[in-house]
Structure formats: C-alpha cells, structure tokens
Amino acid sequence: MNFRTDEDFARELDAADPLAGFRAHFHIPTNEAAEPLIYFCGHSLGLQPKAVRAAVDQELNDWARMGVHGHFKDQSPWYSYHELLREPMARLVGAQPHEVVVMNGLTVNLHLMMVSFYRPTADRFKILMEDSAFPSDTYAVRTQIRHHGFDPDQALLIARPRDGEHTLRTEDLEALIRQEGPRIALVLFGGVNYFTGQLFDMPRITAAAHAAGCTAGFDLAHAAGNVELRLHDWDVDFAVWCTYKYLNSGPGAVAGCFVHLRHAENTHIPRFGGWWGNDPKTRFRMHLNAEFDPVPSADGWQLCNPPILSLAAVKASLEIFDRAAISALRAKSELQSAYLLHLLDQHPAQRTDRGHSTPVRYEVITPPSPSHRGCQVSILAHDRPDRLFKSLHAAGVVGDFRPPNVIRVAPVPLYNTFHEIWRFAQILTAT
Ligand SMILES: *Cc1c(COP(=O)(O)O)cnc(C)c1O
C-alpha cells in the first residue's frame, strides 16, 4: 500500500478497517480529562475485554450459590473447566486440541517442560538461547542446568547478532546449531523477542534443531495472539506462553502450554505429577502406592486444580480471538506496523542545526520486513532516552522503556487505531 502522511489518510485507514468495531469491546485507559490514552503496551499487559467482568461474575455467583457443588454444575462445571479452553487455544496457536493445556504461569510451565524435555547427558548438555532473552527464562534455564549438576557458564550457549546488527540472522543460527549440535540438548527460543520485536523463523529453527538431534522448545509470550502459529505442523516439541500480554486475560492470568502429540500421548515421558494430570477416573485414589497415571495428552502435565476465576477471563478473551480470527488480526497488524514504520521514516531522525547535522536521535531496531516482526516496534533512542520516554508519557502515550535506551511500542490490531499511530508519530517526532 502507498501510505500518505496526512491525518485524513489515518482516518481513511480506520474507516476501511473491517476489525475497527473490536475496540468497543475493550476498556481503554484514560487520562485525568477522561480522554483515551494511546495504549501501545499490549506487549506487557493487554487491555481488559468488557466481557471479562460478566464471565468472572458468573463463576463468583455460582460459587456463592452452590459452594462445592460448582465443581459439577450443569453449565461450565469447574471440574472440567480447563477443557473449555482447549479448542480455542489450540486454534490460536495452530495445535491439535490435545496438544494444548492452560495451566500455571509461564515460567512454571517452562520448568515443567524442561523437567520432561531437558534431559542432559555428559555429551549433550547445552541449552541454546537467543541473546537478550527475557530474564525469567534465563533464571529458569540457569537453575535447571545447575539442578542437573552442570555449570551454566559452560552449558548455556547464546546466539548473538553480528557485530553492528541488532537482530539475529536465521542462517547464522542454523550454522551455530550445525556446529554445536552434538553438544546441544535443547534449543529454547522466543517466538518473538521481547526486546527487539524480532519474529524468529520457528519452522526453520525447529528443523535445524531436529537435524542436529536437539529438542526444540519455544517461549511464545510475545508471539501468542500476535502472530500466526502452526506449532503442530512446524513439529515444535513444546511451547509455553502467558495470556496477559496479547491475549488480554488479566494480570498474572493462567498460562498456556503446548506438547506435540508424539510426546503428549506418551505417558512414559518423565515428569512431575499432580492429581490434575492424572486420569480423572482414578484421580482420587487414596492408597499410598497408587502409581501416577497421566492423561495421554497435554493435560497430563497439569498439577493442580486450576484457578477458575482466571480461566473465566481467559475464556472470555479467547472468544474475541475466535470472532476476529488471528489471520485477519495479523493482516491488520502488519499494515499497522508498516504504517508506523513508514511515518517514522518520513520524519528524518537526523536534525540539522545551523548547517551541522546532529547525530541520529533514534533508530528502529525491529526488522522492517513483516515476516520478521509482529506488532511491536522497538525504538532505540540515542539522545536522552529517558527524557524522550517521559515526554511520550506526558503526551498520553503508554509504552514501555527498557533501560538504558529502548522504547517498545505495540499497536495492537484488536483495539488500536491508525489514527493513534499517526498521533504517536507526530508526538515522537515533535519531541
Ligand atoms: C512476559 C514474559 C515472561 C513472564 O513470565 P511469567 O512466568 O509469566 O511471570 C517470561 N518470558 C518471556 C519471554 C516473557 O516475555
């Protein structure tokens, strides 16, 4: 599309947007004058769908009216509540229903997956991760490595961009996997990097890992609800994600977990067990020698009976994704971030003062190609980044600042408009 830079064009894009109506299904935070803020922070905490309150109220009311009998009530019984999320979540991540379960938090699920799929040996004990992985993942991985008696400084292998570049090249990653493969037990990558916004080539990374005899796992915290995923077809071994970022299910909401069918059905895979992962028919056996008998699906990794109030919010949110369809959301998202990149390109970041050009004030470090990015655009500020971020905040932009110098903004197709993108570009370039 040929973008124009005038305000009318932003309004034309909104008028032509088939998904524009979804914004009305969300609570949009406002300033003191009750004007909506430009909320570009869906990469950290997605906005509240209006339907969530009724969904949570329903379970609160049932609890008040029925107490323990809510576990077996006629409508959405708590005993099997997690099963209601299976199919919508599977559709969202391109999985078969029995490959997906909603449980725990992301980091807990990552540990549970590593218990099963990081089985280091004396020869093959390394974990390969991307540079600037999210801190929780690094803590999880380093402590798992130590738990197995290895030294994280030896066992943790980091894939870094080339000198002078901000993002990774798939071919470099493939070469690294070929070269180090015999020593790598697990390739654990983000789907979309939280810092740069780079979308990794998950099918190619998985294929390279498998060709070298490694397991391939993904942290999809920034990919689920953002980009289209085909976890089953890509042959990913396992994946984990949270539901409070692009999935709009509320702070600390229950997380997602994917286990490929060829593992999910294998009840002999070692794991940590709990009663909710056991066959429901024998879940309540009281004798001490009762063997753990896992459900032959991703459900077999559950430990606890889940927090229903949180699952109710996830369920309400996933209904919106089903109505909008992730393919349509992704198409809008590609257009939105392309428009944002275009506007930022038009305003030269290079300022000329008294005939001398001053250094570039900021640069976008997210890859420009839609196949290498999702919603998020990461802006590296060269000139007083904290001041720039403060002025964005003062002008009503909700973004995120990662010290020392990266501002991350994410126009989200479910609730952000093209006009907000246009205003953001105005504000950024005027400060
Ligand atoms: C947000 C995020 C997390 C957060 O972990 P929780 O267990 O949900 O607190 C972990 N990893 C990545 C990559 C993230 O983006």
For the segment 263-296, what is each residue's pLDDT rounded down to a tens digit?
Answer: 999 999 999 999 999 999 998 887 878 889 999 9
Largest CA distance in the chain: 85
Ligand 1: nearest atom to the Cα of 219: 13
- pLDDT of 156 reads 98
Q: Closest Cα partner for 263 from 113, 120, 83, 157?
A: 113
Check if the beta carbon of residue 315 is closer than 8 Å to that of residue 85. yes
The residue ranges of the chain whose pLDDT is under 70 are 347-359
Q: What tokens appear for 312 in the block?
A: 């109710």
Distance CA 155, CA 97 (A): 34
Q: CA neighbours within 13 Å on the CB side: how many for 166?
A: 19
At 407-416, the pLDDT tens digits run: 999 999 999 9
Distance CA 343, CA 340 (A): 5
Q: Which residues contact 303 (CB under 8 A, 6 or more apart)?
A: 103, 104, 112, 272, 273, 274, 275, 276, 277
Check if the beta carbon of residue 365 is closer than 8 Å to that of residue 409. no
Strand partners, 184: 126
Strand partners, 41: 410
Angle at 49 between CA 43 and CA 50, to 5 degrees: 155
- Look at residue 362 and give its three-state secondary structure: strand
Angle at 85 between CA 83 and CA 89, to 5 degrees: 130
- Look at residue 328 and give its three-state secondary structure: helix
At 8-35, the pLDDT tens digits run: 999 999 999 999 999 999 999 999 999 9
CA of 134 to the centre of ligand 1 (A): 7
**Beta-carbon neighbour count of residue 54 at 10 Å?**
10
Ligand 1: nearest atom to the Cα of 222: 15
Please count the residues of the chain.
431
Beta-strand pair 406-409/377-381: antiparallel
Distance CA 328, CA 331 (A): 5
Check if the beta carbon of residue 284 is closer than 8 Å to that of residue 79. no
Distance CA 198, CA 428 (A): 22
- pLDDT of 348 reads 59
Ligand 1: nearest atom to the Cα of 190: 13
Check if the beta carbon of residue 127 is closer than 8 Å to that of residue 141. yes
Most informative mutation of 189, 242, 257 for ligand 1 (most atoms within 8 A of CB): 242
Ligand 1: nearest atom to the Cα of 194: 15
Q: Which residues contact 243 (CB under 8 A, 6 or more apart)?
A: 102, 224, 249, 253, 254, 255, 256, 314, 317
Q: Closest Cα partner for 189 from 173, 166, 171, 178?
A: 173
Q: Give the pocket of ligand 1 (CB within 6 Å).
A: 105-107, 134, 136-137, 190, 194, 219, 221-222, 242
Q: Closest Cα partner for 191 from 176, 203, 202, 204?
A: 202
| Residue nearest atom 2 of ligand 1, based on CA coordinates | 221
Domains and CATH numbers, the chain: 7-36+326-430 (3.90.1150.10), 54-322 (3.40.640.10)
CA of 171 to the centre of ligand 1 (A): 27
φ and ψ of 63, to 5 deg: -60, -45
Q: Closest Cα partner for 210 from 246, 185, 232, 176?
A: 185
Place of tokens 């992704």: 330
Ligand 1: nearest atom to the Cα of 107: 7
- pLDDT of 378 reads 96
Most informative mutation of 136, 138, 141, 310 for ligand 1 (most atoms within 8 A of CB): 136
- pLDDT of 286 reads 79
- pLDDT of 352 reads 44
